[in-house]
Amino acid sequence: MDLRDLYQDIILDHGQHPRNFRAQAQPSHFAHGHNPLCGDRVTIFVTLDGERIGDVSFQGRGCAISQASASLMTEILRGKTLAEAETLFKGFHAKVTGNDAPATPEALGDDMDRLEPLTGVKAYPARVKCATLAWHAFEAALKNGAIGATVKTE
Amino acid sequence: MTHATRLRSLNGAKLDPRAIRRDFPIFERNPGLVFLDSGASAQKPAAVIDGVADFYRSDYANVHRGVYRLSARSTELYEEAREKVRRFLNAADAREIVFVRNATEGINLVANSWGATFLGPGDEILVTVMEHHANIVPWQLLRDRIGVKLVVAPIDATGGLDMARFQALLSPRTKLVAVTHIANVTGAVLPVESIVRLAHAQGAKVLLDGCQAAPRLPVDLQALGCDFYVFSGHKTYAPTGIGVLYAKKAILDTMPPWQGGGDMILEVTFEKTVFQEPPHRFEAGTPDISGAIGLGIALDYLESLGREAVLEHEEALTGYGVDLLSRLPGVNLVGAGQRRLAILSFSLDGIHPHDVATILDQHKVAVRAGHHCAQPFLEVLGLGATTRASLGIYNDERDIDALAEAIKAAQKMFKR
């Protein structure tokens, strides 16, 4: 496999210039994600607006894959319902782990397409957790609310 | 005459990495492999692989048990391996050599047996900020159990141990100084002779973590005088699962067993057990017999190359690597103080070590990326992770060149 399939321009761009890279003073939900193996860290901040994600942002440090994944995730999740977010995570997780992805509802097709560049990690088993870290943290944030939580990828 | 040429003339032979590589089947099976991760675990020479297989084919039986000849032969080979370790470390007595699983288990043994018996609340254990988790966590567990205090000596601006601060932290309360011989993150060679002298002057015992040193430096424990020394077989070209704890006999004799079972007893009744003398007192259950024998073979192999020749080779190659990497723009070599051996940790501007390692792997360059089981040290260095290249006897300049080329490829990919 060619490395450019993993480090596509969109990954390098988001990795080096992450979007929504900011803390929120009073998020309704937040969680820390930590990959102890490589030291990658992200904190995901979420502010819900009813059943919709009003605002989602992150801060962290780590490899290009983990930071790009977090950045892309925040762009895609804003304005989505919680059910839609769950569907996207399930589909994304299946793709990066090389499993059969469930059919994507048509309304989320464009969003799944945007996540496609990250699926190159499935050829690099040691790197899959880099791509999923932000999503696991997002999931933990929703479960734990404003108390915060820490999720580890191991 | 320079230090290097003096060593060469003393030893006669210079290391030939290309010839050595032919002794390691992994390179034949993985053409083009640039293996720069011996600091994590070294590859095994055919002599070790075949020697272990031969042992199972010809001489295997349990040790210290059977009266039959095969068991006697197995026991003899196992104890012969212990003698080889004694010679390798120049310990005074083979009874000072305890076989353990690895250095980590050796340190845990000292903490649980010697530490829990002879230390108490208020006593201090002095470590350095450079330690591997294996030389931190066992002392923390002991601290939580019996209330000893863990004191941490810092590094100086160059990345070496700050000896002035180290000395200032030593006091009559210091009962143990537990430090690495060579730092696994940076390759800094610690001034262990001075450390032992200063610690003993305060009445403290000294434990040295020899994981990175044993495969590279001639170690003379009688001259060094430390009280405990540990190393892992698998970093010394031997199989996984075998390691060594050295402890001075006078100390080992006072230490209670830490694990109970077969082989470590003289007599057992349900009321009372009489324990074996050291080292067997500390080797409960059937040991890693083939591992010990494999370790003996690996040490023979290193001796056959010449310990001074190994050191000279790795010193020269370390110098070559430092020169090359420090001249590459955007590469930041982590400092190692006055003396560095065999380990080059670095960061690249704007590229995370995990990405570096993936790109290097694509160039068949195997390095380690991450915190190297030394999270507190990385924190002090202000780095979450580094990329680490570590050398072995099979490496030569071409491996360093391949590393440099792969680094340039990574930089090119990330340049935007």
DSSP code per residue over A107-141:
GGHHHHHHHGGGGGGGG-GGGHHHHHHHHHHHHHH
User: Is residue B130 domain-shared with residue B208, that is, in the same domain?
Assistant: yes
Q: Which of residues 356-385 of B touch A (CB under 8 A)?
A: 358-359, 362, 369-371, 375, 378, 384-385
State whether residue B165 sits within 8 Å of chain A by CB.
no
CA B258/CA B267 separation, integer angstroms: 17
Interval B162-203: pLDDT, tens = 999 999 999 999 999 999 999 999 999 999 999 999 999 999
What is the average pLDDT value for chain A, to the nearest integer?
91
Domain ends where: B265, B284, B303? B303
In this prediction, the answer to ipTM > 0.90 reads no
Within 13 Å, how many C-alpha atoms sit on residue B19's CB side?
Answer: 4
Catalytically active residues of B are 373
User: Is residue B63 domain-shared with residue B130, that is, in the same domain?
Assistant: yes
> Domains of chain A (ranges plus CATH)?
3-146 (3.90.1010.10)
User: Is residue B260 domain-shared with residue B338, that is, in the same domain?
Assistant: no
Name B316's Cβ contacts closer than 8 Å, sequence gap at least 6.
Answer: B4
Show the domain range for B166.
49-303
Other Cβ atoms closer than 10 A to B128: 25
Say if CB B284 and CB B260 are below 8 A apart. yes
Interval B51-94: pLDDT, tens = 999 999 999 999 987 789 999 999 999 999 999 999 999 999 99
Q: What is the DSSP string of B109-130?
A: HIIIIIIHHH--TT-EEEEETT
Task: Find chain B residues with C-beta within 8 A of A126's C-beta.
Answer: 358
Q: Which one-letter DSSP state was computed for residue B349?
A: T
CA B195/CA B226 separation, integer angstroms: 9
List the single residue in A with minimal CA-CA distance to B359.
A3
User: Is residue B270 domain-shared with residue B366, that is, in the same domain?
Assistant: no
- Which of A16, A39, A130 lies closest to B416 in CB terms? A16
Q: Three-state SS for B58?
A: helix
B355/A16 Cβ within 8 A: no
Domain ends where: B268, B303, B338? B303
Q: Is the pLDDT of residue A106 over 60?
A: yes
- Which of B352, B354, B413 lies closest to A3 in CB terms? B413
Comparing CA positions, the residue from B300, B262, B310, B258 lying closest to residue B282 is B258
CA A123/CA B392 separation, integer angstroms: 29
Q: Residue A119 carries which side chain, given as an amino acid letter?
A: T
Token pair recorded at residue B330:
């955007």
Token pair recorded at residue B408:
């340039």
Token pair recorded at residue B14:
């210079």
Interval B96-145: pLDDT, tens = 999 999 999 999 999 999 999 999 999 999 999 999 999 999 999 999 99
Query: What's the burial of B371, exposed, middle or buried (CB within 10 Å: 0-12/13-18/19+)?
Result: buried
Instruction: Check residue A99 and give its pLDDT.
Output: 87
- Which of B359, B384, B414 lies closest to A39 in CB terms? B384
User: Is residue B28 domain-shared with residue B77, that is, in the same domain?
Assistant: no
List the single residue in A with minimal CA-CA distance to B352.
A63
Say if CB B104 and CB B245 are below 8 A apart. no
User: Is residue B280 domain-shared with residue B373, that is, in the same domain?
Assistant: no
Look up the CATH number of the domain holding residue B7.
3.90.1150.10
Give the pLDDT band of residue A1 (cuts 50, 70, 90).
low
Strand A40-49 relative to strand A29-35, pairing: antiparallel
Q: How many domains does chain B fold into?
A: 2
How many helices (H) and strands (E) chain B has is answered by: 17, 15
User: Is residue B71 domain-shared with residue B154, that is, in the same domain?
Assistant: yes
Look up the CATH number of the domain holding residue B182.
3.40.640.10
Name A23's Cβ contacts closer than 8 Å, sequence gap at least 6.
Answer: A43, A45, A57, A59
CA B308/CA B7 separation, integer angstroms: 7
Q: Can you tell me the mean pLDDT for A38-47?
A: 90
Percent of chain B with pLDDT over 90: 86
Comparing CA positions, the residue from B193, B226, B221 lying closest to residue B208 is B226
Task: Find chain A residues with C-beta within 8 A of B370's C-beta.
Answer: 37-39
